[in-house]
């Protein structure tokens, strides 16, 4: 198969919505592959040498994921399925899960085309720790509230969001926000090094805005058809 | 002020504390075994003051403002394996508090300004050897021929091809767990069916001289190792003869490659495993973000701890 891959879990409604929307837009170059199909593959072959790297993963439905034919990838990994290790003893299960995770990181990192969002060594989904997210949001100039965490009492409670926007390659999708928030969201995406980022805010009854949270795991539906079209362009230009 | 976090009498940590004291640095030590008497508060100010980091770490009743910490040496063990904590019930409040303490320490280490050896998010690259190998290759080093597969026939074909060419094959973990290197023997072929459960890593054995390079900021310290063992760290166990180590000077070009490699992974402290082949090529296997450098410092008399101390104290780049 020569295509861009939407790599997601079977119950990822947002990814499946995006796939359908891309088809509605006439984009035929994406294929949905589940994380489970990759992890449970009976034939994974990955080679790495001074000459470069190559990989081949045969899926149970007969398709083959080859590194030289994947033109891009939308990464929606939330967790590694490990049901096939369920009967192993806990130490072996921990070891096998770490091995699988290590392989998946390299495989994702080796995709030659564009990946939204790239996997990171600390998160296959490319997610960031919430503290770092909050810190960089403040550095980006977004209206964060003071935050405290202690070893005994935990973290300051979060705010419920009222507005969500999505950044893709410096463009915003979703509700129209004040200009300074738009600029701050784009700066945050740059600081975090993620091209695709969802940022949530709370708007108080008096009109003031507060940063609530940000995630690399975006709700495509919230960005609607314009976001789907922009994603299609991001993989063709 | 420089904070050292870990087990103070564990060799690398002890050497760093001693070296910091020797240069007169203002150093405080968080002993993980005394976590029950320690507390951590992490504050992030609002955007109006740029998200300034505040809070403090309380050690034996004395609170150190986090804003005063200009350097951090982090070599912590899994907090849940600390003897006093491991003995507690899984849902005990003290176990949860201990875990939160360590979690906050690591989150602070990821965002604090100043010098950190090393930031936890950056250390994670060592959890995947092939991920590191991709970066090592991009940095300009040679890497060994590698196959990761769960298909026994592919593994067999790789092994038999290397054998036919007169070489040997080793297998080792893909992740950072259980990373003892073993040579594939003919008897192992009968066990290859076991790899069906999980992709397993095989590599063509690279023959030559092991070289361990420690990069500390811009400083490069190298040690050559002589051993007949597949994994020289376990030479006494594998061959009955311990490895011998001696300091060496690397040529400037190779030193630059090593510094560039540590920068690529954002690891100002890195233990780089090289092998100089019989043809004079340098093959790189791994970049260790939390090197147990005392093994090399003790046996080859290289001043790694001193360089770490000077880096943390801003006395060296």
Q: How far is CA A72 from CA A64, A76, A118, A235, B309, in A?
A: 15, 13, 11, 7, 45
Written in H, E and C, the secondary structure of A17-58 is: HHHHHHHHCCCCCEEEEEHHHHHCCCEEEEEEECCEEEEEEE
Distance CA A157, CA A34 (A): 34
Residues of chain B found within 8 Å of residue A109, distances taken between Cβ atoms: 131, 134
Structure tokens of B179? Answer: 């990373």
Residues of chain A found within 8 Å of residue B174, distances taken between Cβ atoms: 99, 102-103, 106
What are φ and ψ of residue A76, in 5° steps?
Answer: -125, 30
Please write the tens of the pLDDT for every residue from A57-69: 999 999 999 998 9
Best B40, B110, B128 member to test A by mutation, with max A CBs in 10 Å, is: B128
Confidence class for position A128, pLDDT limits 50, 70, 90: confident
For A152, the closest chain B residue by CA position comes to B97
CA distance A34 to chain B (A): 18
Confidence class for position B128, pLDDT limits 50, 70, 90: very high
Residues of chain B found within 8 Å of residue A147, distances taken between Cβ atoms: 43-44
Domain range list for chain B = 2-117, 124-140+207-300, 146-204
CB of A34 closer than 8 Å to CB of A45: no
Q: How far is CA A173 from CA A165, A191, B283, in A?
A: 6, 19, 47
CB contact, 8 Å: A76 with chain B? no
What are φ and ψ of residue B170, in 5° steps?
Answer: -115, 160
> Is ipTM strictly over 0.85?
yes
Note which residues in 157-186 of chain B have CB less than 8 A from chain A: 173-178
Please write the tens of the pLDDT for every residue from B223-263: 999 887 777 877 777 788 888 999 999 999 999 999 999 99
Would you state the pLDDT for residue A1? 65
With 0-12 / 13-18 / 19 or more C-beta atoms within 10 angstroms meaning exposed / middle / buried, residue A121 is buried
Name every residue whose Cβ is closer than 8 Å to that of residue B99 and which is 6 or more positions away in sequence: B79, B80
CATH 3.40.1500.10 matches B124-140+207-300 = no
Whether B127 and A101 lie within 8 Å, measured CB to CB: yes
Quick check: helix, strand or coil at residue B112? coil
Domains of chain A: 3-116 (no CATH), 130-216 (3.30.470)
C-alpha B263 chain-centroid distance? 14
Write down the architecture of domain B2-117 according to CATH.
3-Layer(aba) Sandwich (3.40)
């Amino acid at each position: 198969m020569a295509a861009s891959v939407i790599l997601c879990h079977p119950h990822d409604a947002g990814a499946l919505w995006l796939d359908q929307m891309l088809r509605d837009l006439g984009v035929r170059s994406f294929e949905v592959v589940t994380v489970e199909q990759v992890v449970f593959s009976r034939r994974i072959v990955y080679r790495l040498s001074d000459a470069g790297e190559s990989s081949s993963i045969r899926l149970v439905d007969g398709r083959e994921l080859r590194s030289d034919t994947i033109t891009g990838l939308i990464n929606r990994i939330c967790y590694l399925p490990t049901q096939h290790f369920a009967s192993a003893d806990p130490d072996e299960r921990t070891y096998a899960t770490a091995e699988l995770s290590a392989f998946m990181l390299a495989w994702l990192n080796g995709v030659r085309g564009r990946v939204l969002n790239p996997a990171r060594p600390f998160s296959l989904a490319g997610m960031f720790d919430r503290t770092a997210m909050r810190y960089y949001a403040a550095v980006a100039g977004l209206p964060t509230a003071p935050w405290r965490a202690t070893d005994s009492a935990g973290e300051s409670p979060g705010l419920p969001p009222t507005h969500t926007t999505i950044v893709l390659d410096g463009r915003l999708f979703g509700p129209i926000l004040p200009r300074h928030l738009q600029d701050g969201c784009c700066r945050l995406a740059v600081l975090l090094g993620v091209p695709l980022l969802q940022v949530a805010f709370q708007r108080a009854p008096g009109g003031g805005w507060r940063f609530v949270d940000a995630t690399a795991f975006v709700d495509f539906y919230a960005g609607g058809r314009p976001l789907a079209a922009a994603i299609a362009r991001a993989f063709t230009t | 002020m420089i904070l050292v976090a870990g087990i103070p009498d564990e060799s690398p940590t002890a050497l760093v504390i001693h070296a910091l004291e020797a240069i007169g640095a203002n150093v405080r030590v968080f002993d993980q075994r005394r976590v029950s008497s320690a507390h951590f508060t992490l504050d992030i100010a609002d955007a109006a003051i740029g998200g300034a980091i505040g809070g403090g770490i309380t050690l034996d009743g004395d609170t150190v403002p986090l804003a005063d910490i200009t350097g951090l040496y982090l070599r912590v063990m899994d907090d849940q394996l600390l003897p006093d904590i491991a003995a507690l019930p899984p849902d005990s409040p003290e176990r949860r508090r201990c875990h939160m303490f360590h979690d906050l320490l690591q989150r602070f280490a990821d965002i604090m300004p100043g010098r950190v050896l090393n930031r936890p998010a950056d250390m994670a690259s060592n959890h995947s050897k092939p991920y590191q190998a991709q970066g090592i290759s991009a940095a300009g080093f040679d890497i060994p021929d590698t196959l990761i597969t769960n298909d026994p026939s592919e593994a067999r074909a790789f092994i038999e091809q290397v054998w036919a060419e007169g070489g040997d094959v080793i297998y080792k973990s893909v992740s950072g767990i259980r990373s003892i290197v073993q040579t594939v023997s003919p008897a192992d072929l009968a066990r290859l069916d076991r790899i069906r459960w999980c992709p397993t890593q095989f590599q063509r054995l690279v023959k030559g001289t092991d070289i361990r390079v420690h990069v500390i900021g811009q400083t490069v310290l190298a040690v050559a190792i002589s051993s007949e063992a597949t994994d020289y760290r376990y030479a006494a166990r594998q061959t009955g003869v311990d490895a011998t180590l001696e300091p060496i000077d690397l040529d400037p070009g190779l030193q630059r490659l090593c510094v560039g490699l540590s920068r690529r992974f954002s690891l100002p402290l890195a233990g780089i495993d090289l092998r100089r082949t019989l043809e004079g090529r340098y093959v790189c296997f791994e970049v260790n973000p939390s090197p147990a450098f005392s093994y090399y410092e003790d046996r080859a008399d290289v001043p790694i701890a001193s360089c770490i101390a000077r880096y943390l104290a801003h006395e060296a780049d």
